[in-house]
Amino acid sequence: MSPDGRYLVAHSPENVLAMDLTTHTPINLPGSVKDLLAYGRFTFLSDGHFMGVGGSRGDISSVVEFPSGRPIEPDILVGAAKLRRSAHGDYVLLSPIKESPLGVLDLKKKAIIFESKREAFDVWDSQGIAERENGDLVHVDLTTAKIEESITLPNAQLGAVRAAAVSPDLNWLALSQNSRGAVWNMQTGQRMYHLRGFRGGYFTAEGAMYADFPEYLKTDRSIVRLSLTQQELHAIHTLGEKDHASQIGKYLLTLVPGDEKTGVNRNVTFELRDIATMNLLWSKHFGQERPGYVMDFPTNSLMLYWQAASKEVQNRTREDQETAAKLAPFRNKEGINYIEICDLDSGRLRFKIAIDTGKNSISVADMNAAGDRLVLADNKNRLLVYGLDGQLKGTVLGTRPAISSAANLMTARTQSGELTLYDLQTLQTCAVYNFDSRVAFSGFSGDGKRLLVMTANQAVYLLDTTAKVGTVATASK
């Protein structure tokens, strides 16, 4: 949409739509404008100008008058970057460029005059406002490329948590969102590391943390070891960004395709490795459909699941009497999920069950297991708790279950700012914790006697799970 709200342009591989929103009439665009829409990278500029990408390779841009198509600035090299108009002035923001996530293009000079390591950037005439990698805002003079001012923003509400880890003694907490992460010493309350976003974390007993950092600029995706005794980190393993690998605690699970045509949907092997040494711990091959899977490091659980009508399950039914017995009560296999619960560290089968979803009237959003219990979180904000026999033992309201195997306890986020603690066997409420902000993360200590909670307003609470019902242990922030 144009900055003044008058014009709208939409493009798909099959169609182009241009509208004058003041008259609600379509616009017949000239060829000089249509040619700039072919690659789907275009933007309105100020003063009635329009910029798009054309050329045989999609790397040449032009600025034209809209909607006439009269040339203003032809033949601007932009490569494969996306275009975004600046707030004011003869500048366009390109992302990414060869060396950086964002570049500021001067339309008159037809050259990039400034590069930023973050995509959060805008321009008003010759002044730029940018986000640093640590989250600070800086004021940049584009004529000299010098930083004029810097400001640290106050703590904001945490959004979605991408990865989190807590040490068994609750002395260390690591948390990451998409772009940034951090590691805190919970004994002192000090932040030891301020990092770019990571995908997984694990604290060792020897005073280190291992984390999976995605590819960034010229840095490959890497497993990084961070010392907790001094600020020192280094990459110990390099991964391909397209590798189907996921860190879960001290392990790395990789899906290895049997061939390139089928990818990782069928004929695939699961390989579990130690994150520090990359030693192979176990592997499982699935010749037919790959199962869906959920991993939980604190409970040492791996849940594999298929639709009961899948070829993989049909083969297992013919070859294994226990699997056949689990599915025998269900004549119609529609909406029946077959689940195998395994020990994560060894791949050893713990138990199997079959779950009736009521002809797919519910869908599984999350799952976890401990002892003889399987907990399914459905799309109706309920936690369904099943036993070894596949029978439903009970249902409680809540989402994002976390389980302590040692204490046989479960937490659930029941309302905004509320966390409920349950006895996993009886599903009786042990405690209800209320906070002044949404719960962003919670994790049990190794023995399950304490619970760490971080809220969206970046406050941390340490709770005593052995306290009497309805009481809360005072926490430090």
Task: Report the CATH number that the domain containing residue 410 is assigned in CATH.
Answer: 2.40.10.480
In the chain, the percentage of residues whose pLDDT exceeds 70 is 97
pLDDT > 80? residue 34:
yes
Last residue of one domain, picked from the residues 382, 397, 412: 397
Residue 163 included in any domain:
no
pLDDT > 70? residue 32:
yes
Residue 331 included in any domain:
yes
Residue 242: the pLDDT is: 80
Which helix H or strand E contains 319, and what residues bound it? helix 311-319
Give yes or no: residues 381 and 427 share one domain: no
pLDDT > 60? residue 392:
yes
- As a whole number of angstroms, the longest Cα–Cα distance in the chain is 76
Give yes or no: residues 427 and 332 share one domain: no
| DSSP-assigned beta bridge partners for residue 339 | 305, 353
Residue 450 included in any domain:
yes
Residue 237: the pLDDT is: 95
Q: What is the three-class DSSP state of 476? A: coil
CA 93 to chain centre: 26
Phi, psi of 311 (to 5 degrees): -65, -35
Give yes or no: residues 412 and 376 share one domain: no
Q: How far is CA 358 from CA 225, 271, 332, 362, in A?
A: 46, 33, 11, 7
Q: How many CA atoms lie within 13 A of 119 on its CB side?
A: 13
Residue 473: the pLDDT is: 41
Give yes or no: residues 362 and 377 share one domain: yes
Residue 475: the pLDDT is: 43
Read off the pLDDT of each residue in 53-61 and give the average, rounded to a whole number.
Answer: 87
Read off the pLDDT of each residue in 11-30 and give the average, rounded to a whole number.
Answer: 90
* 387 — pLDDT class (breaks 50, 70, 90): very high
Give yes or no: residues 39 and 23 share one domain: yes
- Long-range contacts (CB closer than 8 Å, 24 or more residues apart) made by 220-227: 223/247, 223/252, 223/275, 224/198, 225/276, 226/183, 226/193
Read off the pLDDT of each residue in 204-217 and give the average, rounded to a whole number.
Answer: 93
Tell which residue, 400, 401, 335, 337, has the closest CA to residue 373.
Answer: 401
Give yes or no: residues 363 and 411 share one domain: no
Q: pLDDT tens across 296-316, in order?
A: 999 999 999 999 999 999 999
Residue 14 included in any domain:
yes
Query: pLDDT averaged over the chain?
Result: 90
pLDDT > 60? residue 428:
yes
341 and 322 in contact (C-beta within 8 Å)?
A: no
d(CA 33, CA 35): 5
Give yes or no: residues 381 and 331 share one domain: yes
pLDDT > 90? residue 266:
no
Residue 63: the pLDDT is: 92
Q: What is the three-class DSSP state of 321? A: helix
Residue 75 included in any domain:
yes
Q: pLDDT tens across 165-191, in order?
A: 999 999 999 999 988 899 999 999 999
Q: Which pair of structure tokens corresponds to residue 180?
A: 């940034």
Which residue in this structure is represented by tokens 């708790």? 385
pLDDT > 90? residue 360:
no
Read off the pLDDT of each residue in 350-372 and give the average, rounded to a whole number.
Answer: 91
pLDDT > 50? residue 206:
yes
pLDDT > 90? residue 443:
yes
Phi, psi of 346 (to 5 degrees): -115, -15
Residue 123: the pLDDT is: 93
pLDDT > 50? residue 109:
yes
Residue 273 included in any domain:
no
Residue 471: the pLDDT is: 46
DSSP designation for 219: B
Q: Is the peptide bond before 101 cis (omega within 30 degrees of 0)?
A: no
d(CA 128, CA 146): 10
pLDDT > 90? residue 431:
yes
Q: How far is CA 136 from CA 87, 255, 286, in A?
A: 20, 38, 48
Give yes or no: residues 390 and 297 share one domain: yes
Give yes or no: residues 381 and 405 share one domain: no
Residue 442: the pLDDT is: 95
**Choice among 4-18, 150-164, 225-239, 390-404 with the minimum mean pLDDT:** 150-164
Residue 197 included in any domain:
no
Give yes or no: residues 28 and 60 share one domain: yes
Give yes or no: residues 386 and 344 share one domain: yes
pLDDT > 90? residue 154:
no
Last residue of one domain, picked from the residues 40, 59, 85: 85
pLDDT > 50? residue 476:
no
DSSP letters for 236-267: EEEE-TTS-EEEETTEEEEEEESSTTTTTSEE
DSSP letters for 334-380: TTEEEEEEEETTT--EEEEEEEE-TTTTS-EEEEEEETTEEEEEETT
Domain count of the fold of the chain:
3
Residue 281 included in any domain:
no
**Choice among 151-160, 205-214, 217-226 with the minimum mean pLDDT:** 151-160
Print the domain residue range for 350.
Answer: 291-397
pTM: 0.78
**Choice among 27-31, 148-152, 275-279, 465-469 with the minimum mean pLDDT:** 465-469
Residue 263: the pLDDT is: 79
Q: Which residues contact 122 (CB under 8 A, 6 or more apart)?
A: 86, 87, 93, 128, 129
Q: What is the dihedral of CA 451, 456, 459, 464, to 10 degrees?
A: -20
pLDDT > 70? residue 209:
yes
Residue 362: the pLDDT is: 86
Give yes or no: residues 347 and 375 share one domain: yes
Last residue of one domain, picked from the residues 28, 56, 85: 85
| Most confident listed range (279-283, 321-325, 368-372) | 279-283
d(CA 92, CA 77): 12
